[in-house]
Amino acid sequence: MDTYTAVKNRLLALCGQYHLSIHKLATESAVPPSTIKNILYGKSINPGIVTIKMLCDGMGISLFEFFNSDTFRLLEPEIR
């Protein structure tokens, strides 16, 4: 799995866990809905860490909690 897919899947999982729609997450995190949709639908394959931090703030979690999963621990190297 690549890093983009891992971020997208984690974001989707957390939205499900916290019962957040794209619109609600956008409102809570001050990230435009279009930015979130671009991440989820593949238009933005390299979301910045500040954007991810803002999304985490909107969900009430830390960056550590966002990235603390086996998905990120087991990622393939980006450089081959």
User: How many degrees, rounded to 5, is the angle at CA 68 between CA 65 and CA 73?
Assistant: 160
- In this predicted model, what pLDDT tens digit does every residue of 26-54 receive, in sequence order? 999 999 999 999 999 989 889 999 999 99
Query: Per-residue confidence at 1, pLDDT binned at 50, 70, 90?
Result: confident
Q: Give me 64's structure tokens.
A: 């550590």
Average pLDDT, stretch 11-39?
A: 96
The reported pTM is 0.91
Spatial contact of 23 and 32, defined as CB atoms under 8 Å apart:
no
Q: Structurally, what CATH architecture does the domain formed by 3-72 represent? A: Orthogonal Bundle (1.10)
* Distance set, CA 25 to CA 19, 35, 69, 78 (Å): 9, 11, 21, 29
Spatial contact of 59 and 28, defined as CB atoms under 8 Å apart:
yes
Q: Give me 59's structure tokens.
A: 């969900």
- What gap in Å lies between CA 78 and CA 24, rounded to an integer? 32
